Structures are given as C-alpha cells and as structure tokens.
Amino acid sequence: IQQILLNERPEGLPSPDTFKTVSVELPAPAEGEVLLQPLYFSVDPYMRGRMNDARSYIPPFKVQEPIESGGVATVVESKDARFSAGDLVMPGGGKNFFPWATGILFSGDHLRKIDSSIPPTYYLGVLGMPGLTAYFGLMDIGKPKSGETVVISGAAGAVGLVAGQIAKLQGCRVVGIAGGEEKVKLLTSDFNFDAAINYKGNTHLGTAVAAACPNGVDIYFDNVGGDISDAVMEHLNFFARIPVCGQIALYNSTDVPMGPRIQPTLIKFSVLMQGFTIGNYAHRYMEGMQQLGEWIRAGKIKYTETVIEGFDQLPTALLGLFSGQNSGKMIVKV
C-alpha cells in the first residue's frame, strides 16, 4: 500500500517537499482489527495548523508519519464480529481520523458504521464536522434573530454555505464574502444569499460591506480573519456577535499578523467576539445532525462539493483550500 507522510514541517505555504509518499506492506488483520480501503478523504484548513509544532486544541502531525484526516472507508476484511466486508465506516469511538493510506488496519473499537442511504461524502461535509461547525457557531454563539443582518466570510466554502443558509432559515438578511465572480454568483443564485461580495474584485471592501448592509452588521461569522474581517468589523451594530470560526487568511503567515486593535470597537458597541472549536459541542452532535438532516430532507439546505480524484492528489487538494479551488466541501476520492 501507499502512505503519504509529513516529510518536513512547512514554513509558510506548504510545498511538494512537505509531503512524501512511501510504499509499505500491511500484515493481515489481527483479532479485533479490520482492514479498510478508504473511499474518500476530507481535506480541511485546520490541517495546516497540525503541520506546525505548536500548542493547540489538537496535537501536531508527527514528522515522517502519515498525515491523517477525516474519511470514509469500506471494510475489506474483518476480525471484529461487529463489522463485515462491504460495510461503510468512519473513525469513531474517540478517533476522528484515518491515516493517508491506500489500505488501513484499524481497531474495530475505533470504527463506526454509517448509513449507506446517505451520500457518504455528506458525513465529511454538510452532516459532518463543517455542517456542525456552521450550526453550533451560528446558533449557539451568533444567536440570530429574525430581521438581523449576518455577514459570512469564506461564504462559498464547506462551513460558509451551511452557515449562510441556516441564517436565512432564521429570517436574517445574509451577506456572503467570497473570492471570485463565479462564487458570489453561486451564493445569490443557488444558495439564497441576499447579497454577496467578491473580495478579490473590490478595492475598497469596507464600502462594499456598507452598501450590502444598509442596517449594519449584527452577526459576523468569521471564517477567514485578516483584512476581510477588519473591513466587516467597521460596520458592527450595538450588541453584535462574532463567532470566530476560522482564520484561514493567516494560517500560512510567517510573521505575527497585525491589524487594527478591535477592543475599543468591542467596548463602544458592546460586541461579543468568541472563538470556538467544534469539539466543544461533542455532547450535542446528535442534535446538530438531526436538525441539519431535517433541513436537507426538506430541501431547505442545499449543498455542493468539489471532488478531486486520486490518492496522490491529497496534497494538491489540501493546498487548493488556500487558493480557493473549492466550492463547498473539498473532498478527495481515492
């Protein structure tokens, strides 16, 4: 089988040298083990942070060991009575990731079966980590009220698309910010956003935000940070809420990012700004999945994904997140 390892820790944007593909032999599964063939891997922006040797909510990847991410696999051979060949599975029982490999030996204790009537990639996107992040970040921290204005950055991505549609379902005016004319068109024509701003085509983003938000900004769902967030935060209303979900604009920066100090604004307008990680809501995943499932079945939340084919494309797909190669969830089909 083949594995993709973290070859060296990157400085700034990862390069081909960051990754290394190796061939290894897998032994036959031992008692309690299951041999898996991965079907899909998720690539996610947070994985860039795991390439650094830094303290965080999740331990760093180890150099010269396989990179790991969310995924869906099929059982090839099972030495665990709970699984049989052909079952569709994901990591479970305290594990969240599969190693980047074309064949995987995994303990049955750390697998869960998934419902084969649902498209398997939904478990990596709208019904998985990104969908739940949108749901809890918006509902629990954003606390949207009908008639409010919600601005979402990274709006055409996995989290952003779901967050925007949930905000619409709460009766809000929803403005998305994304990179490129195609993406902003997608937001308003296919995903029900009231307005969308192409940050790559606007020399003065602050003016564009003001024009799209005549009543100011009540909730800013921040997926990107940096200059985009600075521009949005010039237009916050009294008692605005900011769920700080992601800062992808900063994940590859090599120096300390600087910007306007936001604290006086937070004081003047009594703004709540709260960072979170989805793991905080582990005890409520069922609630989130049920609600998202209901909205999807009722056609109230639509979804799209960008699927790249080939195990060897995993590094390219991961890097593609940082140049906006995806609309909706970025997935690699093995």
Binding site for ligand NDP (CB under 6 A): 44-46, 129-130, 133, 154, 156-160, 178-180, 183, 223-224, 228, 245-249, 276-278, 321-322, 324, 326, 330
Q: Which is nearer to ligand NDP, 78 or 327 (CB)?
A: 327
CA dist 213 and 138 (Å) reads 18
Shortest spacing between CB 18 and ligand NDP, in angstroms: 17
Q: Which is nearer to ligand NDP, 89 or 248 (CB)?
A: 248
Q: How far is the CB of 129 from ligand NDP (least distance, A)?
A: 6
Nearer to ligand NDP, 73 or 161 (CB): 161
Q: How far is the CB of 133 from ligand NDP (least distance, A)?
A: 4
Can you list the positions of beta strands (E) in the chain? 2-6, 19-23, 33-42, 68-69, 71-78, 88-91, 98-99, 104-107, 111-113, 149-153, 173-178, 195-198, 217-221, 236-244, 272-275, 305-309, 329-333
DSSP β-ladder status, 71-78 and 305-309: unpaired
Q: Which is nearer to ligand NDP, 20 or 302 (CB)?
A: 302
Residue 304 Cβ vs ligand NDP, minimum distance, rounded to whole Å: 10
Question: For residues 35 and 124, which CB has a smaller minimum distance to ligand NDP in the complex?
Answer: 124
CA torsion, ordered 164, 170, 172, 177, to nearest 10 deg? -10
Torsion angle, CA of 209/210/211/212, rounded to 10 degrees? Answer: 50
Question: What's the closest the beta carbon of residue 201 comes to ligand NDP, in angstroms?
Answer: 12
